[in-house]
Structure 1
Amino acid sequence: MARKVLIYLGALVCASAVGAVAWSSADRETAPMERGTIVAAQRGPIESTVSAFGRFEPSVEAQVSQLVAGRIGALTVRAGDRVTAGQVVAMVEAPLQELSVEAVESRMKRLDAVVRQREAEARLARQTRDTAKPVDERGRPSPEVIGKANAELAVAEALLAQAQALRDETQAELRREQVLLDHARISSPIDGTVLEIHVRAVEYNDPENGSNKVMLIGDTDQLLLKAMVSEADVLDLHPGMAAQVTLVSDPDMILSSTVSIVRPQPQEVNGAMMYVVELPIANTGGRLKPGMTARARFVTSSDSDAVIVPRVAVGVTDNGPAVAIPAGDGFELRAVETGIETRSHKQITSGLSAGQPVIVPFPKDL
């Protein structure tokens, strides 16, 4: 490698070349490097990370709706209450639905009577046909009489089938009306917490007019952090990847999670395409609340025993990455290969050993 004259002040180079200066991990992140400083390549851990912010949401949500028109007679829960699946959370006064059920029940009684009548007529027609033994003057059966008996039986059976079909149809209508009436007792479909209540007692709602939301219930024992990740970073994330989650409101509260889903459909946020990454979090003790903001930190690559130099120590030449090594009153360029990069440092995978001095920043005026 050709040796070139170092442009920086000779006194600074001589003073720095006496011994390489070591630095701590905190120094590597915060301490600015003076122009022309000589530092030693260090051995230690390095990791590349992706950070994203998001909000907690219940893992499961259920919108409880009013399916029958009527006035809210009573709300049996309040926002924040815990409920179980099947628990009654509201009652609807539905007199019109009660009248509908009564009307269909009355029709069912009439149809039951009609079916019984048709059954009796069919039995009689069958008996008449089976007992008829008409003969002509020669003692032979008469086809006309037998044909008439068969026709009368066919008509009776058809009328019976028609009555039975109408009764079955009305029975189904009755079950439907009864189900709607049962919905006057509004129950929670899941175990969870009442998040929002959309109605008030004595308020009238009609589902046909679109006003049927009663309350929102969610499972807050298991929350989902939906982190918004940029399109540049989302390629490095995948389901099963570990993450560290920190609350914005309480930075000392650090939680662990694993990526469950990387949503393929982006969302546009302030003109940028962002992807939702879901992280399940067990809400032990119930301290976490839906809507809280948190920061997720993902380690995309790491090395616990790497040769590390400041990022500004590595330059690009025609032959690829290189560092400047002090040599006499000047320096020489040495080709290196790099690995993991952070905002402040780079890993050197070959071409440089721990303890060897390098010049920072990389000389630009070559």
Structure 2
Amino acid sequence: MEPANSSAALADAQRAVAPAGQLQATPVTTRRWPRALIAAAGAALLAGGAGTVYWFTHKEAPVRYVSVPVTRGEVVRAVTATGSVNPVLTIIVGSYVSGVIQTLSCDYNTKVRKGQVCAKIDPRPYQTLVNQSKAELANARAQLVKDKAALTYARIAYTRNVTLLNRAIVSQDAVDDAKSAYDQASAQIQVDKAAIQQKAAAQESAQVNLEYTDIVSPVDGTVVSRNVTIGQTVAASFQTPTLFLIATDLTQMQVDTNVSESDIGALREGNKAMFTVEAFPNHAFEGQVVQVRQAPQTVQNVVTYDVVVGAENKDLLLKPGMTATSRLITDQREDVLRVPDQALRYSPAVPQPAAEASGAAGRMSPTRGQVRVWVLRQGHPVAVSIKPGLDDDSFTEVLEGQLQAGDRVIVGEQRAGGAGASPAQSFRL
């Protein structure tokens, strides 16, 4: 607005000083920019802004490498399996005879000695059978004495008749009859002896059944289960009932683990083992594989094998029936140079000169059996070839290579998130 006001004031002044009839209009001009120049300037501004936006959105984000040190330690390959804790030897104590439990002298956790009476079945029916068999045996022995006397008489009669026959006093028929009586008396003696043996065996059988009314412990151990009470009737007609379970030695336990068929080939007797139970999750029990059983166990088309792990239980912390999570060691290296497995799987997102010169990073060489890891040196990744050894899914043993303890191997990389950066570029592992 100021240029317009100045022009009007200048025109008024000219009119005031000019003579009459000499007044004339004095044109006032303003400066205008050419349209082409304005258009060119706008295009230049737009091109510069677009270039600035392109540079900010497409420039490479800085990389921060995630690294871990190379260490020395153990590399352990193991098989994990679950199982149950059981005594090494558990004795099932049953009953050979039927009857009513009259007394009970053993309970859970009772320490028993070999031959100790734990329960007693009512012995009266079996005592009656013993008494009856004794009487029958005595009768058979008395019968033998009687028949021996008859044999003596038959022998005397036969001898006398033979003498009389020589004198023609008796007939031959009388002699033959006496001989038959003598032979029968001799045979009866053998029958009586066999009957005595039979009655003696019956008496012994009745006595054995009477003794079986005492339920005794066959071994030294601890009662871990009791299945009867006083007054309960035990029936042993079809199968032997289980009355007690006695563990011979609770200081020696075993873990029966179920190992899948894919892992059973790596296990051998003598392999070390470690296991934990839910009661003591922070206590690792040590053991040893004592048996790899050949019998398969198939459940829902899954085949497993029973691998027995022996372990000491001096503190009696382990109890029968506990669930154990076992780690069966198949191979082990101690105090070896090792790298984490993540380092073997890492390769730079942007190809590095070293990688281009020596092949794809992290790929095993078919000729030398080597793999590549990337070591962070002076802030830059450097490819190093190593020969791997034992792998336990966490660490890999380094057999050969230009690595030493303390070197930092790259396991991943992070990029500052910015425009144009994809999530895969923000973090690579």
TM-score scaled by length of structure 1: 0.76
2:93 touches 2:242 (CA, 8 Å); kept in 1? yes
2:76 touches 2:333 (CA, 8 Å); kept in 1? yes
Per-residue Cα deviation, 1:254-298 (whole angstroms, up to 9, x for no partner): 333222211111223565322222223333243321112233333
Aligned-partner Cα distance in 2 for 1:302–1:272: 29
User: Residue 268 of structure 2 aligns to which amino acid in structure 1?
Assistant: H
User: Residue 309 of structure 1 aligns to which amino acid in structure 2?
Assistant: V
1:56 touches 1:291 (CA, 8 Å); kept in 2? yes
Q: Determine which of 315, 323, 330 is the counterpart of 1:300.
A: 330
Shift of 1:84: 1.1
Per-residue Cα deviation, 1:45-87 (whole angstroms, up to 9, x for no partner): 3222223332211222222222222211111122121111111
2:376 touches 2:408 (CA, 8 Å); kept in 1? no
Q: Determine which of 233, 242, 258 is the counterpart of 1:228.
A: 258
SS at match of 1:307: strand
Q: Does 1:349 align with 2:405?
A: no
SS at match of 1:339: strand
User: Rg bigger for which structure?
Assistant: 2
Q: CA RMSD in A?
A: 3.4
Q: Determine which of 67, 72, 78 is the counterpart of 2:107.
A: 78
Q: Does 1:213 align with 2:242?
A: yes
Q: Does 1:164 align with 2:193?
A: yes
Shift of 1:181: 1.1
Per-residue Cα deviation, 1:77-134 (whole angstroms, up to 9, x for no partner): 2212111111111111143323322222222121111122223333444455567546
Aligned-partner Cα distance in 1 for 2:90–2:71: 51
Aligned-partner Cα distance in 2 for 1:248–1:107: 63
Q: Which runs of 5+ in 1 are unaligned?
A: 1-8, 17-33
2:94 touches 2:240 (CA, 8 Å); kept in 1? no
Aligned-partner Cα distance in 2 for 1:324–1:254: 34
Shift of 1:232: 2.5
1:69 touches 1:94 (CA, 8 Å); kept in 2? no
User: Residue 345 of structure 1 aligns to which amino acid in structure 2?
Assistant: F
Q: How does 1:143-162 map to 2 (within 5 A)?
A: 151-162=180-191
User: Residue 224 of structure 2 aligns to which amino acid in structure 1?
Assistant: L
Deviates more, 1:187-196 or 1:324-333: 324-333
Deviates more, 1:315-324 or 1:68-77: 315-324
Q: Does 1:109 align with 2:109?
A: no
1:246 touches 1:294 (CA, 8 Å); kept in 2? yes
1:323 touches 1:358 (CA, 8 Å); kept in 2? no
Q: Determine which of 323, 329, 340 is the counterpart of 2:372.
A: 323
Aligned-partner Cα distance in 1 for 2:332–2:274: 15
Q: Aligned pair count?
A: 328
Q: How does 1:14-163 map to 2 (within 5 A)?
A: 34=66, 41-126=70-155, 132-133=162-163, 136=166, 151-163=180-192
The verdict on how the C-alpha distance between 1:332 and 1:216 changes in structure 2, with shifts beyond 3 A counting, is: closer
Q: Does 1:263 align with 2:313?
A: no
Structure number with greater CO (CA < 8 Å, separation at least 6) is 1
2:212 corresponding residue in structure 1: 183
Aligned-partner Cα distance in 1 for 2:233–2:72: 72
Shift of 1:172: 1.0
2:343 touches 2:374 (CA, 8 Å); kept in 1? no
Aligned-partner Cα distance in 2 for 1:129–1:316: 115
Aligned-partner Cα distance in 2 for 1:45–1:211: 53
Q: Does 1:284 align with 2:330?
A: no
SS at match of 2:266: coil
1:238 corresponding residue in structure 2: 268
Shift of 1:349: 2.3
The verdict on how the C-alpha distance between 1:76 and 1:326 changes in structure 2, with shifts beyond 3 A counting, is: closer
SS at match of 2:263: helix
SS at match of 2:141: helix
Aligned-partner Cα distance in 2 for 1:144–1:66: 63
User: Residue 318 of structure 2 aligns to which amino acid in structure 1?
Assistant: L
Aligned-partner Cα distance in 2 for 1:122–1:310: 102
SS at match of 1:117: helix
Shift of 1:226: 1.6
User: Residue 323 of structure 1 aligns to which amino acid in structure 2?
Assistant: R
1:245 touches 1:254 (CA, 8 Å); kept in 2? yes
TM-score scaled by length of structure 2: 0.66
Q: Which runs of 5+ in 2 are unaligned?
A: 1-59, 345-361, 414-429
The verdict on how the C-alpha distance between 1:295 and 1:100 changes in structure 2, with shifts beyond 3 A counting, is: same
1:237 touches 1:300 (CA, 8 Å); kept in 2? yes
